Amino acid sequence: MRIVLVGPPGAGKGTQATRLAEKLRIPHISTGDLFRANISRQTELGKLAKSYMDAGDLVPDEVTIAMAKDRMAQPDAENGFLLDGFPRNVSQAEALDELLKSEGIKLDAVLDLEAPEDEVVKRIAGRRVCRKDSAHVFHVTYSPPKHEGVCDVCGGELYQRDDDSEETVRTRLEVYHTQTEPIIDYYRAQGLVVTISAMGPVDEVTGRALEALKSGQ
């Protein structure tokens, strides 16, 4: 199965992508992982991407597309893949269509995770991370520490990352609405979009997604 996963920041795409890929036995291909893998291996594409990133510029679409093409050509993606964070805009979606068409394959579904904007802001802005170990993450509402501002695991100070401030989250949402959300209409015109609610327990959302992908509704 070949799937594109879309949804606003805070909808739980990363969590659901990992779980769905495991359940469907297909690789989870994320833009962030592609960049990190190419940069760490010092591939030509990785060096090119790093030059843009070091200069504070966005990595051009053609570089991202080339990385995705290379990854989708790997043996483990022969029977399908789940794309997370790509395509990020309509031009990338069009390029992906051309790429798949040239390989004689096509997407099976575009899974759209829906979450109310206020809930997304609440989810992200409420996160608190341990300064000693960033793997220790809490939430002021959903998983608060026993003692405010103190990590339950190691006693480190909990803080709000700059990227998690409400102002930053709303800026990220605006970018999503402007650049990424239009791909939903692009794919809806092809009859590929399957929309589900991203609200509720993680297991429940995963089950909802699998059922929706199975039924195509």
- From 13, 71, 122, 128, active-site residue: 13
Exposure of 103 by Cβ count < 10 A (0-12 exposed, 13-18 middle, 19+ buried)? exposed
* Whether residue 127 lies in the annotated active site: yes
* Whether residue 13 lies in the annotated active site: yes
* Whether residue 170 lies in the annotated active site: no
* CA-CA-CA-CA torsion sign (91, 93, 94, 99): positive
* Whether residue 161 lies in the annotated active site: yes
* Whether residue 128 lies in the annotated active site: no
- From 19, 71, 88, 123, active-site residue: 88
2-6, strands of its sheet edge to edge? 28-30, 81-84, 2-6, 109-114, 193-197
- From 69, 132, 170, 172, active-site residue: 172
- Residues with a catalytic annotation lie at 13, 88, 127, 161, 172
